Structure 1
Amino acid sequence: MVQEVDSMSRSIMVGLDGSSESRAAAEWAAHEAKLRGLSVRLVHVWEPVAEPLAQAPLLGTESLKHWSEQIPRGVAEGLRARHPGVDVAALQLAGVPGDVLVDVARDAELVALGSRGLSGIGGFMLGSVGQSVIARTEVPVVLVRSGERAADEHALDTAGAPSAATRFRPVLLGLDTRSPDDTVVAFAFEEAARRDAALRVLHAWTPPPSHVYGLSDRVSMHDELARANAAELTEALRPWRDKYPAVEVIEASRAGNAADQLVSSSRYASLVVVGRRIRRSRFGVHIGPVAHGVLHHAATPVAVVAHG
C-alpha cells in the first residue's frame, strides 16, 4: 500500500498523475520544501473504471489500482534519494481528480501541479484539473512544466547551465498599484527572501482612450503618465522595502498589457507571482485574465496566489 501521511503536517502538496510535468512539479516541490522547512506530500488520484470495464482482467479496478500505486511510490523513492533532508510521503485516493485535490489542498501550505507546454510555444496548457484547483482553492498554487529549469532556479554559470554555485534568478511579481493585495505582495517578498534573490516588481499600465492628440502632445502625455505610474509603484512598495530590507527590489513600470509584459520578463525569473481574486460563483471557474495569460505562456514556474 502507498504510505499515508498525517493531514495536519505542514507540507507542500503535489498533484501527481505520472506525467513528466507532474514529476517536474514534484521535483520543484522538493526544492521549495528544503527552502521552507516543509515536507512534501505526493497525492495521486485514480478514477475507478466503469463497471463493464471493471470486469476485464487487464482493466479491472484492482489491476488499475495496483498499477497506479506504483506512480507515487516510485516518485517518492526518487525524491528521497535526491533530497535526503526532505520528508517525502505519498497518498493515493480514489475519485474525481479536481475535486479530490481541492479537498486535500485545504491542509497544505502550497500546491504544486504539472502543466503541459503548448506544442511549438513557450507556454503552458492549463488542463481542466489544474484550472479547477487554481480556481477553487485559496492555497497558493504553483504550475510547473517539464523540460525547463524548474527544478533549478539558479542563474546560468559560465558554461550556460543552471548551477547551485550561482545566485537564484529574480522572483517576478506582477503588481496592480491601484489595488495591491498584501497577501500576494508578501508571498513574493517571502519567496525572494528564501532564495536570497532580487524581487522584480512589474506594473503594467494602459494609456487612457483620450490619449489621441498630436504627436508632440502624445509624447508629453505619455512621459507624464509614465512618471506618475512609476511614482505610484515606488509608493506602493515603500512599506515593503522597510519590512524586507535585505531583499533587493527592482521596479519596472511599463505601458502595455500586463500579461504580455509578465510573459516577456518571465524568461529571466526563477518564479512568477500573480494574484487571483477569490470569486465564489455557480457559473464556472474564473482565474482572471492576467493569471490566465501568464499561466498559458510564461517560460518559468508560476505561482497563483488567491486573495480577497
Structure 2
Amino acid sequence: MLRPVVAGVDGSAESLAAAAWAAREALRQDRPLRLVHAWDWHPRQQEGEIANAAQRHLARRVLRQAEDRIRKDHPEVRLSDEQMEGPATAALLKAADQAELMVLGSRGLSGFTGFLVGSVALGVVAKATRPLVLVRADEQATDEHLPAGDGNGSTLTGYGDVVLAIGLDEARDEVIEFTFEAARVRHARLRVVHAWHTAGPVGLGAGEAGLMKGSWQGEEWLGFLKALLQVWENKYPDVEVLATVVDDRPTTALVRASTGASLLVVGHRLDERRVGPRTGPVTHAAIHHVGCPVAVVPHV
C-alpha cells in the first residue's frame, strides 16, 4: 500500500495553503492524501469531557473546511482525514512516521524574510524521520510554475526549478534521490547548489606558503559535485541537471538560488544528542529566509 502525503491542518490560512499544496503533490506522485488535526486530550472529568467534546467538534469543522477546499479544486484526489489526540508535535510526528511526505504550513513574509515558523512546526522538522515540506500562507498553485509570456502567473507553463542545497561533506543518497524524484514528477530542471567561501593564504608546509585562488578551488568543488551527481543523472536521464558552485554565504546563496523555484530541498542530519527543536545551519537558513516551499529531508 502506498504511503500517503499527509498535511497537518488547524484552520489557519497557512495550514489550508499546506493542504492545497499537499493535494497537488499527492496528484503528482499518484498517492492518497490524508489530512490530520491534532488536539490535546483532557482528563476524564466533567470539565475535561466538555473540553474534549468541544475539541472534537472543532477538529471536525477544521477538517471539513480543508476537505471542502480540496474537493472543489482537486476532486480527483483520494482523500481521507484523521483526528489525533495528544500534544500537537508528538501527534504530527506519529503521523509523519506513516507518511511518504508530511506537509505543514508556515506564515510567509514578504521580500527575503522567508517564513515565520512556529514551535510545533520546528519541533516536527527537528525530529521527523520522514521528509517534510513547509509551505507559506500565501502560496498559490501558480507560484510553482514559470510565468506566462505576458509575465502573469499560470498553471499551464512548466514548473520552476527544483533546487537542492548540498554540502559535499554531508551529501546523502536519500536527500539526492528525493530531489531527483521531485524534479522528475514535475518535469522540472534540477539545480544543485553548493556554497563555499574563498580561501585566504594557505600554508603548504614548513618554509612554504601558497595562495589557493578562488577560481581554482571553485573548479575543484564543481568537479566533485558533478562526479557525485553523475550516477543519479544516469538513473534519471530525463531530468536536466545544472550543477552550480558559488562563493557566497549559505543564507545568501539559498535565497538567490530559490528565487522563482518551485521547491527547495535541504538535508537535515538527525542527531539524538540534540535537545529541543534544533536544526542545522543550512536547514535553519532555508526555513527562515526562503520564500518558496522548503523540503527538509532527514538523514543519519
TM-score (norm 2): 0.90
What is aligned with 1:81? Answer: 72
Report the Cα distance in structure 2 between the residues aligned to 1:139 and 1:76, rounded to whole angstroms: 24
Deviation at 1:97, TM superposition (A): 0.2
1:184-199 equivalences under 5 Å are: 184-199=175-190
Cα gap change, 1:151/1:106 in structure 2, threshold over 3 Å: closer, same or farther? farther
Q: Does residue 40 of structure 2 align to residue 41 of structure 1? A: no
Give the match for residue 230 of structure 2. Answer: 238
Alpha-carbon spacing, 1:158–1:54, altered in 2? closer, same or farther (3 Å): farther
**Within 2, Cα distance between the matches of 1:18 and 1:52?**
27
* Residue type of the alignment partner of 2:189: A
Unaligned runs of 5+ in 1: 1-7
C-alpha distance in structure 2 between counterparts of 1:265 and 1:56, whole Å = 51
The CA deviation at 1:151 is 6.4
Q: What is aligned with 1:14?
A: 7
Distance 2:141 2:265 in 1: 14
- CA 1:52–1:264 in structure 2 vs 1: closer, same or farther (change >3 Å)? farther
54 and 121 in structure 1: CA distance in 2 versus 1, 3 angstrom threshold: farther
Q: Is it true that 1:153 corresponds to 2:183 in the alignment?
A: no
Q: Which residue does 2:206 correspond to in 1?
A: none
- What is the SS of the residue equivalent to 1:72? helix
1:120, 1:245 → 2: CA distance? 36
Aligned mates of 1:151, 1:163 — CA distance in 2:
5
Superposition RMSD on alpha carbons, in Å? Answer: 2.6
Show CA shifts across 1:84-118 (max 9, x none).
21111111122110011111211111000001124
CA offsets 1:112-134 (integer angstroms, 9 cap, x no match)? 00011247753111211111111
Output the CA distance in 1 between the equivalents of 2:8 and 2:234.
37
- Counting only pairs closer than 5 Å after superposition, residues 31-110 of structure 1 correspond to structure 2 as 31-48=24-41, 54=47, 60-110=51-101
Shift, 1:307, TM fit: 0.8
Q: Share of identical aligned residues, percent?
A: 38
Go from structure 1 to structure 2 and tell me whether the alpha carbon gap of 1:223 and 1:101 turns closer, same or farther (over 3 Å shift).
Answer: same
- Contact persistence 2:200–2:211 (CA under 8 A): no
**In 2, are the aligned partners of 1:24 and 1:150 still within 8 Å (CA)?**
no
What letter is aligned with 1:99?
A
Q: Are residues 1:227 and 2:219 paired?
A: yes
SS of corresponding position for 2:201: coil
Q: Distance in 2 between matches of 1:54 and 1:208?
A: 64
Cα pair distance change 1:219/1:266, threshold 3 Å: farther
**How far 1:20 moved relative to its partner?**
0.5
Q: Which residue of 2 aligns with 1:290?
A: 282
Task: Using structure 1 for the length normalisation, give the TM-score.
Answer: 0.88
How far is the alpha carbon of 1:148 from its aligned partner? 2.9
Paired residues in the alignment total: 295
Partner Cα separation in structure 1 for residue 19 and residue 274 of structure 2: 32
